[in-house]
Amino acid sequence: MSPVVPVLARARRLRTRAVVTSTVPSRVDAAVLARAFRAAPRRPLTHLVLAAPGSGNIGDQALTEALLENTDGPATLVLTGAGAPGLPAELAARVTPLALPELVYGTGPAHREDVAALGRALAGAAHLSVIGADVMDGRYSLPASVRRSSLAATASRLGVDTRVVGFSWSDRARTAARRSLADAGAAGVRLLLRDPVSAERARRDGIGPVEETADVVFAARTTDPSAADRLLAGVTAPVALVNVSGLIGGRLDQTAEYATVVEALRERGLHVLLVPHVARPGTDDVAACTAVAERVGAPVVPDLLTPAQVRGLTARATVTVTGRMHLAVMSLLHGVPAVTLATQGKVEGLMRLVGVPELCVEPGPGMGDAVVGVLDRVLPAGSPARAAVRAALPGVVALARRNVEGLAAPVPAGRAA
């Protein structure tokens, strides 16, 4: 690679950051959105949901489905990434997809066209819910974080009931993302943080008002045992679900560490099933899980499951080890301890919420032995960790349902608004 290429890439990143920080793009977006909104017929009949980034991620899919499961009436799902989620039939029957691929990540005329399309859709919406997840603090994509916040702020100023649903906040949030989210809060957007650590960080950054909730996936209402029946047919031993994160694998050779974990679980009499949670270029769990499977000879789920099928697996598990937070959430939802590798500062708050901070392990050399040490404390049926999770769960589910408070079903078509 030419030494000029990294320099040019860095220059582009700095230029993009400078433009975003200037707030000029946000002001242009606000003007385009407002103009399209005011020109369209105003009859709020739907719930507009700005989905998490895209397909290939069970966690993103689980967030979208859990939100929709806990509301009723017609909904419009705004898709900003590649591919459309395959919603369960009962949701697909009342959810209309709206593909706006340039809305969050695009530039130029195509981006402005998608902003205008969002404005027209807002004119027919009673509510706007932005699924915040871990994409609001600018750590993954600063322009995308700023756009989500600024679009939400404009929608609220136009009179649409707007919220950012259960999301994390980093202790290293980018300045422009922080300012944009603070502006959204000042505009009346409900900021629903999904754990107490994130809420503390947001308040410390001058963002408010914030409301403490839990991840909306804790409010999921469906479980599908079909994959568990197939993958665990004939298994009589207790089951351990193990996820190997392709995201963590991008900066750490995990294979030997996970081999230590799998061997320890087997020595303790557990059947190990390797479960990928994300299948995207550059962060692919399927490849990461397969590498461990080839090393230790454990079975691996060959394709991504649906969120309900994952919950069917976690309902059969005794323990989970994961590098992906939403596999932890769906395990904890069934009272199953989930030893979770900390990424992006979002796991610490989750484990404080369920009262078992020791389930959070920092990824790095030697993490295999660290995970085994935690497993030995949580595996016994009467362990304090299991008792703590069971005791905390009803309160956590109630917090998760705060994400959907006030989302009354829009007026059905054919009735006066």
CA atoms of 117 and 75, how far apart (whole Å): 16
Q: Tell me which of 222 and 410 has the higher pLDDT.
A: 222
| C-alpha span between 126 and 216 (Å, rounded) | 20
Rounded to a whole number of angstroms, the CA Rg of the chain reads: 22
Which residue(s) pair with 50 in the sheet?
Answer: 78, 130
Question: Distance (Å, rounded) from C-alpha 237 to C-alpha 45?
Answer: 51
The one-character DSSP state at 409 is P
Confidence check: pLDDT of 258 > 70: yes
Residues 320, 336: Cα–Cα separation, whole Å: 7
Give percent of the chain above pLDDT 90: 82
Model confidence pLDDT, tens digit, residues 401-411: 999 999 966 54
Cross-strand bridge partners of residue 319: 240
pLDDT at 127 over 60: yes
The secondary structure element, H or E, covering residue 307 is helix 307-314
Q: Rounded to 5 degrees, what are φ and ψ at 217?
A: -65, -20
Residues 6+ apart with CB under 8 A from 107: none
The model's pLDDT over 270-294, given as tens digits with 9 standing for 90+, comes to 999 999 999 988 889 999 999 999 9
Q: What is the pLDDT of residue 346?
A: 84
In the DSSP assignment, the letter for residue 154 is: H
- Is the CB of residue 123 less than 8 Å from the CB of residue 140? no
Residue pointed to by tokens 């898709």:
79
Kindly report, residue by residue over 313-347, the tens digit of the pLDDT.
999 999 999 999 999 999 999 999 999 998 767 89
What whole-number distance in Å separates Cα of residue 413 and Cα of residue 417?
9
Residue 338: beta bridge partners?
Answer: 320
Residues 6+ positions from 204 with CB-CB distance below 8 Å:
none
Q: Which helix (H) or strand (E) holds 271?
A: strand 271-274
Residue 277 CA to residue 257 CA, distance in Å, equals: 19
Q: Please tell me the predicted confidence (pLDDT) of residue 401.
A: 97
CA distance 63 to 69: 10
CB 199 within 8 A of CB 193: yes
Predicted confidence (pLDDT) at residue 12 exceeds the cutoff of 80: no
Q: Which of 43-52, 75-84, 160-169, 385-394 is the least confident region?
A: 75-84
Nearest to 329 by CA among 153, 208, 194: 194
The HSE-up count of residue 142 (CA atoms within 13 Å, CB side) is: 20
Element (H, E) at 75: strand 75-79
Domains and CATH numbers, the chain: 16-213 (3.40.50), 226-399 (3.40.50.2000)
- Model confidence at 251: pLDDT above 90: no
State yes or no: cis peptide before 209, omega within 30 of 0: yes
On average, the pLDDT of the chain sits at: 92
Residue 282 CB-density burial (10 A; 0-12 exposed, 13-18 middle, 19+ buried): exposed
Residues 6+ apart with CB under 8 A from 157: 187, 188
